[in-house]
Every structure is written in C-alpha cells, then in structure tokens.
Amino acid sequence: MKRAALTFLSKWTQSPIRKPILLRGARQVGKTHLVRQLAELEFEQLVEINFEKNPDFTTFFDDLSPGEIIPLLEARTRQQIVPGKTLLFLDEIQMCPRAIMALRYFCEDMPGLHVVAAGSLLDFVLAQEGFSVPVGRIQYLQLGPLNFCEFLVAMGEDRLAEQINLFDPKSSKLNPLHEFIMTWLRRFIIIGGMPEAVKSFRDTQSYENVDQIKEAILTTYRDDFGKYRGKLDQELIRTVFNGITGLIGEKVKYTRLDRNVRSAKVSEALNLLCRAGVVTKIHHTSANGLPLGAQINSKIFKPLFLDVGLVLRALGLDLANFPESQSLMTTNNGAIAEQFVGQELLAAQPLWQDRSLHYWVREQKSSSAEVDYVLSAGTRIYPIEVKAGTTGHLRSLLIFLQEKGLHWGVRLGTGKPQVTKIKHQLSSSETVSGSLLSLPLYLAGQVPRIMKEI
C-alpha cells in the first residue's frame, strides 16, 4: 500500500542534512511495512533489527558509539552496513531505550548512514524519569491509519483519489462523481484505515473477514495494557478503553467511564491511552487568537479514537448491510461522521508536527453553543460543523462567527460542494453575514488546503 509518508521519507533519503528518524504511532498502523517499502525503493539493502523478536540485540547498545555498535550488528546479521547504500532499521525500539539514546550519536558520528527507528508505546519510554532524550538529533514523525485517499489508492482508485486531492471549490468537476465517491466513503467508514483490514477487503471483499481483523487489533491493544507503566489497575485501563468509543463527539465526564473510581485515576488511565496513540483529546479553545493551542482549557475535551472502523467494531454494530445505507452517517447520533472528520484532519497535518485538534463550546443555560472543530489557515481562524446529512441547523457556527468577528465557516455533510453567502438574524439586534463553504465529508482532509487557498 502506498502511503503519503513514503514521499516524505524518499526526500529525506536524498537530503544532504538529515537526522535519524523515529517513527511513532499506535500498533499496526503500518510503520514496519512503510520502512520496508522505503528500503526497496531507495536502498541496495535493508538491515532490520526487531528488538521485540530478538531481545539479545539490546546488549549491542551498552556502548552508545556507532563505531562499536555497527561491527556487532554486522557480525550478528551477516550483512555489511554501508553508509549511502544501507538502510538501518531499528524496529520496536521501545524495547531498547539505549538504542533511542544511540540515535544521537548516529547523527553526530555517522551522518552518512540512513537510520530509521520505529516503535509503539514510545511515549512511555520517553517519559521515564531520568531518560535522556536526544533533543535536536532526531526527526520525529507520526504515522496513523490510512486516510480516505490512501484507502482509495489501495483499492485501485488512484484517479479518484487524484481528483479529490486536486479539488477546487470554484470548479464542479467532482459533482458527477459525488454519489460514486460517497459509496466508497461508506465502505471506508466500515472498514477503516488499519492496513491489515484494508488489505483483507481488497483481497476478499469480505466484511466478515474485516471485522475479525479489527477485533483482533482491539484485542492486541487490550493485551498491551500490561505494558503500560505506572501503578494503575489494568482493569481500569480496560474499562476506559472499552467505554471511550461511546463518547465520541461528547465532552468527557469521568463518571461516565467509571463512576466507582476517583476521577484522577480515570484521567490517568485515559492519558495512558493517549500516550499509546489510540485516543486523541480534542481540547476546547477560546479561539480568540492564534495559536489555538495556547488558549485551551485542559479540563474540557472530547475524545477521538484512532480509527473509525475500529470504533464501529468496538461498538459491536452489525455492518453487513451498511455499505449501501444512507443511515451509516447518522450512526451513534452522528458521532461516526465526526470521528471520520477528526481523523482526516489529523492525517492532513504534517508528519513531523505534534498533531492536535480543537473545538469550541459555550456552556450557558439559555444560549449554549458548540462548534465541532476549529482550525486556522495562516493568520485566520475558521469553524467547522459536521452534519451527518445534507442539511442541519448552523446556529452554533453562526454564533461563533458573530462572537469572533469572522466571515468564513465550513460545513461538512453528504451534499455536493458549494459556496453560499449567509445572512442570519440571531436576535432582534444581532445579524450575522459571511460565506459558508459546504463540502461533502470525503473532502474533510482537503479543508486545510482549501481554506489556505481561499
């Protein structure tokens, strides 16, 4: 499967100034496969060290000097490691913290050698007290599940993905393809973007096989709970993990996850899941200026799960007849559509960036309002409302525009693309006017690019 990250990595191999790469991400999002693809494309040979399968390799890093490490690796693997020709791949590097420390010295003492490391649960190792992180000597990259366009390419719909990536709101080229793309979108939401699930559907066209794979992935995550550091009860982490998918699109209240445990403990369990990369917190921001992240309220947030397909599996929904059903988008009160949009917006952010999302909420008895996502384009802020259908009230978006003095809003739904002027009487003394960009859900990942161009 071709990932967009492969293009970035290929450019990295040619850069005269580069650092070792540490590839982060949850289990089974395709990190190992991506690096193997890179090696096949750009290098004469790959030397792959998996610390989980071969823990004896950890002793090779007792001395952090590449000059000491490389001869040991060559002797053990029976492969010569040649700068410029060899890609050295250190997989499951979380099992060998000293190998993470050694990346600094590969950068300083052997800059000609291409080194990529990958691992899951890396944040647990990086957060250990006393662990020396090689600041400024490593290029961190974040990999998630396939996004919608990558899914289309995996399914052989390269040209369809290209049309989406080139979408221009001034053009109507996508309109004749709209229903066809929506059919693929419903398939993607059911299957999700986990590479093994996508490959299974491509090869077998069986949703039952896909569900079995997704269930196995969820079980793997639950089995990982024993590896999470700290004194938390594994059963509590399991309870939070099982409950969080039912709260997509809602403000998290810890009592809804476990009312019998102190909120501080539930919060710690949720933070562990965030470190593992399976949950992302969407924080409320006041959105009064930039950067949005400087104005968050850390106590007010909504959860986003790793993958929409895993969410549907975790909720235990029978999806055999959903692909042609329009009701899929409204599942769980529209939370499925919001989950899809969230992971597409995360995937649209640069690989090297610490990815984050924000939303806005005003909690007042007589005038509450909530905007699903708030993004920035250049120096401007804009709100995004997710609608599971073609229509829906935009009161919260209008209130946001009025309060912040903004003139552009985005609505994502199931209708065709269009730009309309909006003018609405909020009250006898308040009128809101501006422009509304209405886009189909499958263009969610294109929104940051489109708004920058606008």
Interatomic CA distance for residues 279 and 303, integer angstroms = 7
Residues 193-207: tens digit of each pLDDT: 999 999 999 999 999
Domains recognised in the chain with CATH numbers: 4-142 (3.40.50.300), 149-453 (no CATH)
Q: Give the per-residue pLDDT at 177.
A: 96
More confident residue, 432 or 260: 260
Q: Cα–Cα distances in Å, from 348 out to 59, 83, 387?
A: 39, 33, 20
> How large is the greatest C-alpha to C-alpha distance in the chain, in angstroms?
81
**Which is nearest to 401 in space by CA: 389, 388, 384, 414?**
384
Adjacency order of strands within the sheet including 296-305: 296-305, 279-285, 357-362, 369-371
Q: Above 60 in pLDDT, residue 129?
A: no
Q: Quick one: pLDDT band at residue 179, thresholds 50, 70, 90?
A: very high
pTM reported for the whole predicted model: 0.94
Q: How far apart are CA 110 and CA 103, in angstroms?
A: 10
Instruction: Report residue 19's pLDDT band, with 50, 70 and 90 as the boundaries.
Output: very high
Task: In whole angstroms, give the CA distance from residue 379 to residue 175.
Answer: 31
340: nearest Cα among 196, 187, 212, 201:
187
SS3 for the chain is CCCHHHHHHHHHHHCCCCCCEEEECCCCCCHHHHHHHHHHHHCCEEEEEECCCCHHHHHHHCCCCHHHHHHHHHHHHCCCCCCCCEEEEEECHHHCHHHHHHHHHHHHHCCCCEEEEEECCHHHHHCCCCCCCCCCCCEEEECCCCCHHHHHHHCCCHHHHHHHHCCCCCCCCCHHHHHHHHHHHHHHHHHCCCHHHHHHHHHHCCHHHHHHHHHHHHHHHHHHHHHCCCCCCHHHHHHHHHHHHHHCCCCCCHHHCCCCCCHHHHHHHHHHHHHCCCEEEEEEECCCCCCHHHHEEEEEEEEEECCHHHHHHHCCCCCCCCCCCHHHHHCCCCHHHHHHHHHHHHHCCCCCCCCCEEEEEECCCCCCEEECEEEEECCEEEEEEECCCCCCCCHHHHHHHHHHCCCEEEEEECCCCEEEEEEEECCCCCEEEEEEEEEEHHHHHHHHHHHHHC
Query: pLDDT (tens digit, 9 = 90+) per residue, 229-272?
Result: 555 788 999 999 999 999 999 999 999 999 999 999 999 999 98
**Predicted local distance difference test score (pLDDT) of residue 58:** 97
pLDDT in the model for residue 391: 60
Report the share of the chain in percent with pLDDT over 70: 93
Contact partners, residue 301, CB within 8 Å, separation at least 6: 251, 252, 281, 282, 283, 284
Distance, in Å, from the CA atom of 168 to the CA atom of 189, rounded to the nearest integer, reads 24
Note the pLDDT tens digit of each residue in 293-325.
999 999 999 999 999 999 999 998 866 555 555
First to last CA, the chain: 32
**pLDDT at 338 (0 to 100):** 97
> Where is average pLDDT lowest: 185-194, 219-228, 265-274, 313-322?
313-322
Strand 21-24 with 45-50, pairing: unpaired
